[in-house]
Amino acid sequence: MLKKTVRDLEVGGKRVLVRVDFNVPLDAGRVVDDTRIRAALPTISYLRERGAKVILASHLGRPKDAPDDALRMDPVAAHLAQLIGSPVRKIDELTGPEAENAAAAMEPGDVLLLENSRFDPREKKNSPELSAELARLADLYVNDAFGAAHRAHATTAGVAALLPAAAGLLMENELDALGALLESPARPFVVVLGGAKVSDKIKVIERFLDLADELLIGGAMCFTFFLARGAQVGASKVEDEEGVRLAADLLDKAAASRCELVLPEDVVAADAFSADAAVQVVPGDRVPEGWLGLDIGPKAAEEYAARIRGAGEVFWNGPMGVFEMAPFAKGTEAVARAMAAAPGITVVGGGDSVAAVRALGLIGAMDHVSTGGGASLEFIEGASLPGVDALQDR
């Protein structure tokens, strides 16, 4: 880890502004999935145990640059208070006099949660003025919001230039796990990629063609590759001409690389995009006219599972099929179960893939589950993460 971490700071008695990723799903004013809140607890506890005054900031949802009562942080504050067994003071401002007074009144170990950072239109603009207002609240800054580190906003980047700035424990853990995977993966290094679009993940695919030994493709993505090979994809979801050209380039690059790019031998085809459609298993490159490929087939699932079992390290992003519908969830489940049982190092990243692993109760069986979908992919692409760059070097 090249950046300072919270462990490099003297935090006792200090006000520490911690950018967390509390962007959690809410329903009727309650937190319905608290994974992201729990992920920030190690840093919050670390600071409180050392007598720091903990000031938390996060965005929540997508407010339209203005306060939105449905997206206030109050339910998050209530939930956090339950998890830590101590009061959490919540205020209705991000910065300004009320926030400054609240910060000034804190005792060591206190926790203050600021209002949704995206209510302030200056947040996404990384406004120097907002960054200065944030810096006035605290003595130190800690970024623990890996999931937001690919955005250069005032709370994730701007304020870091104005205070001693370090990574939180979650951020450190994510950067260590993904950094190790990119720098020295255990071999054979097997990457499983699925999800909807090739064009979203093109740079990630290129990076893995250099790094991985085997690249197993599933999800809708495989049909754009099949089409680029001139195969029959029926009515499967494929990309436009540009996407198909990108896929053809990637197939050429794969052929010239030492990485083996594997497409599914068979797929589950349906006569409609529906959980009660008629289904048949067909060869991956021969989906009948009018039918849609919605999952990898049983042979492909078995092959991918075997390759995962034989891997030194596995990285998985993107479901193998439309796992939201039970008839098309088997490929995703096979990959998740194979990873859970695999002897190698297993890393999962991506919102939907992580949701699938969670639904199967297999989170604990993975070596690393990334909390940041977009951020983890940008990190793998080799793009720098503004929220990390802004922190101080060791």
Amino acid letter for position 119: F
Catalytic residue among 109, 286, 351, 358: 351
Interface with ligand ADP includes 317 (CB under 6 A)?
yes
Structure tokens at 264: 């599914």
Interface with ligand ADP includes 351 (CB under 6 A)?
yes
User: Tell me, what DSSP letter sits at residue 232?
Assistant: B
Structure tokens at 143: 């970024």
Contact between 244 and 227 under an 8 Å Cβ cutoff? The reply is yes
Cα(360)–Cα(367) distance, integer angstroms: 16
Q: In whole angstroms, how close is the CB of 335 to ligand ADP at the nearest point?
A: 11
By CB under 6 A, the count of residues binding ligand ADP is 19
Query: Taking CB under 5 A as the rule, which mask of x and - marks residues 317-356 in contact with Mg ion?
Result: ----------------------------------xx----
Q: How far apart are the first and last CA of the chain?
A: 8
Which run of H or E residues covers position 111?
A: strand 111-113
Active site residue 36: yes
Catalytic residue among 3, 4, 36, 90: 36
Active site residue 194: no
Stretch that binds ligand ADP, among 21-29, 51-59, 159-167, 314-322 (CB under 6 A): 314-322
Given candidates 196, 231, 272, 365, which one binds ligand ADP under the rule CB under 6 A? 196
Strand 89-90, strand 279-283: pairing = unpaired
Q: Which of residues 95-134 bind ligand ADP (CB under 6 A)?
A: none
Secondary structure class of 53 (helix, strand, coil): strand
Interface with ligand ADP includes 185 (CB under 6 A)?
no
Interface with Mg ion includes 239 (CB under 5 A)?
no
Given candidates 116, 117, 353, 370, which one binds ligand ADP under the rule CB under 6 A? 353
Active site residue 374: yes
Residues facing 296 on adjacent strands: 267
Active site residue 168: no
Secondary structure class of 142 (helix, strand, coil): strand
Interface with ligand ADP includes 294 (CB under 6 A)?
yes
Residues facing 141 on adjacent strands: 17, 165
Residues facing 189 on adjacent strands: 313
Given candidates 220, 228, 305, 390, which one binds ligand ADP under the rule CB under 6 A? 220
Q: Which does 237 bind (CB under 5 to 8 A by kind): ligand ADP, Mg ion, none?
A: ligand ADP
Interface with Mg ion includes 378 (CB under 5 A)?
no
- Nearest position to ligand ADP, beta carbon: 195
User: Tell me, what DSSP letter sits at residue 302?
Assistant: H
Q: How far is CA 331 from CA 62, 147, 151, 208, 381, in A?
A: 32, 27, 33, 21, 26
Question: Is the bond preceding 67 in cis, omega lying within 30 degrees of 0?
Answer: no
Interface with ligand ADP includes 373 (CB under 6 A)?
yes
| Residues of this chain that bind ligand ADP (CB under 6 A) | 194-196, 219-220, 237, 293-294, 317-319, 321-322, 324, 350-353, 373
| Residues of this chain that bind Mg ion (CB under 5 A) | 351-352
Catalytic (active-site) positions: 36, 197, 351, 374
